[in-house]
Amino acid sequence: MKTNLVTSATLPDNTYVTSEDTVYTVDKLYNKRPSYPFRFDGTGNQWIKVEFTVAQNITAMAIFNHNFPNTTTITLDASAIDGNWSLVSTPVWREENLYSTFGATLEWWKLNINAGAVVTPQVGELFLGQWAAFENAFVQPGRKDGPEFFASDNRTHMGQDWIGYYSNADTFTISIKNLTAPSAVDELQSFLKDIWENEDGKFVFIPDHNQPHVYYVQVVNKKGYAEREIYGIKELREWKLELRSLTNGITLL
C-alpha cells in the first residue's frame, strides 16, 4: 500500500476530532513518523473524521503505534455527507499496529475509537488508501525477517557492563522473481519511483493478507534491486528489497 490519502492536504483543515492534545496535535496523524503520534485529550468515545472534498475509493485502513487495550471498540464509517454514517469495517484489535481491508467510494470517513474510561488513545500514523498485491510477481519462501534491537553497550573502567535498551524495529529481506514478464518489471519500477518521490521510500507492508501482521516500512537499499539469473528468451530476474519497519518510539535511560 503506497499512497496514503491522509496527507497535509487533509490535515488539519479537513480533519476533525473529538478532542486534541496540545502537543500531539492532529497533524501528527500523517508525518511519516509513527513515534511522534497524535493523541486525543479525552477518554471514552473518540473519533476522527476526514473530508476528502470528492469521493475517494478506499480499500484499506491501517493504524500504527496505537496504545489501545484489547477491550477497545474500533469501527470505520463512511458517508457522502457529514452524517448518515454507514459501517464500512470493524478492524480486529492487535497490539501496536492493525489494519483492515474492505471497499467503498465515499467523501467522508470516520474512525471511531472507544478505549475505555482510563486510556487516552493515541494514533502514531493513520493510513487510508488502496491495497494491492503485485501482479505477475511472487514473494519467495525463505524470506529473512525478525526484530532489530537498538541499544547501547555500556562498560565502566572496572569491568561492569550493562545494556541501555532504546527501541526495536522489524527487518525483512524480500525476493521477488518473474519469468519473461515486462509488466512485472514496469510495475516494480513504478512502485519504487513513486514511494521514493512521494513517501520518502516508505509504504505500508502486509506480508500475508491472511495474517493480521502489518508494518509501516522503509526501503533500506537505494540501488541494485534487480539481479539477472537467466538470460535469453526466458530471462529470469530476481528483485530484492531490504525493508525496515519504522520504530514506534524509544525507552530513555
Q: Is the pLDDT of residue 253 over 50?
A: no
- Cite the DSSP H helix spans in the chain: 182-198
* CATH class of the domain whose range is 138-245: mainly beta
Q: Is the pTM of this model over 0.75?
A: yes
Considering only residues 145 and 22, tell me which one the structure prediction assigns the higher pLDDT.
22
Cell representation of residue 81: 455527507
Q: Is the pLDDT of residue 95 over 80?
A: yes
Torsion angle in degrees (nearest 10) through CA of 13, 17, 19, 25: -50
> How far apart are alpha carbons 109 and 87 in whole angstroms?
10
Task: Output the average pLDDT for the chain.
Answer: 85
What is residue 36's predicted lDDT score, i.e. its pLDDT? 92
Q: Is the pLDDT of residue 184 over 90?
A: no
Q: Is the pLDDT of residue 104 over 90?
A: yes
Q: Is the pLDDT of residue 126 over 80?
A: yes
What is residue 94's predicted lDDT score, i.e. its pLDDT? 93
Query: What ranges do the domains of the chain cover?
Result: 15-129, 138-245
CATH superfamily name and code, 15-129: Galactose-binding domain-like (2.60.120.260)
Matching CATH topology for 15-129 and 138-245? no
pLDDT one-digit tens code per residue, 11-66: 888 999 999 999 999 999 999 999 999 999 999 999 999 999 899 999 999 999 99
> How far apart are alpha carbons 190 and 241 in whole angstroms?
14
Q: Is the pLDDT of residue 242 over 90?
A: no
